[in-house]
Amino acid sequence: MTQLAEINVARLLHPLEDPRVAPFVAAIDRINRLAERSDGFVWRNAEETSGPIGGDPQMIATVSVWASPIQFERFVFGTLHRQFYERRAEWFGILDSMHFAMWWVADKTHPSLSDALARLAHLNAHGDSDHAFGWDHLAADQRWHKTPSPVQGAST
């Protein structure tokens, strides 16, 4: 059986201690707990992803595994997480390359940050493939392209 792994990297506009990113920093644990309680959540790499990544103290990442794309999509676009996603321009700069990739893993696989970064690099070099892909590669699971999801779980 397979599960969906993902990496999302971002570069903060300001250091983690800066008050301009405080709303994001203050919500990290809350959003992580929400993910961990979400249907389909399997695992997240909590050890390697808080930075610095690539020697950059403002570069952070998320690496996680989900039971299916639709369950991951529900978390990203159908929970409180969406409010923070919609505010990302307040806290993060635009990167010169893709910042998000997904790929299939065998059950009980926990990708390391270096493995996940390699998948992201592959996506940037070669485009969507079975080795690494973005949302467009999963056309059947793209409800969020058609209609906005209501924000659920706002009380979490």
What's the pLDDT tens digit per position in 90-113?
Answer: 999 999 999 999 999 999 999 999
Q: pTM higher than 0.95, yes or no?
A: no
- What's the one-letter identity of residue 110? H
Residue-wise pLDDT for 122-146, tens only, equals 999 999 999 999 988 887 545 444 4
Whether 156 is in a domain gets the answer no
User: Is 60 part of a structural domain of the chain?
Assistant: yes
Q: Is residue 151 part of a domain?
A: no
Beta-strand runs (E) in the chain: 2-11, 41-44, 59-66, 100-106
Please give the residue range of the domain that contains residue 49: 2-146
Domain containing residue 65: CATH number: 3.30.70.100
Q: Is residue 152 part of a domain?
A: no
The answer, yes or no, to whether residue 76 has pLDDT greater than 80, is yes
CA distances from 19 to 1, 15, 82, 91, 117 (A): 44, 9, 22, 11, 29
Q: Is residue 52 part of a domain?
A: yes
Burial 123-149 (b: 16+ CB within 10 A, else e): beeeebeeebbebebbeebeeeeeeee
Structural domain count of the chain: 1
Q: Is residue 155 part of a domain?
A: no
Give the neighbor-by-neighbor strand order of the sheet with 2-11: 41-44, 59-66, 2-11, 100-106
- Residue 153, in any domain of the structure: no
CB 128 within 8 A of CB 24: no
Q: Is residue 106 part of a domain?
A: yes
Question: Any idea how long the chain is?
Answer: 156
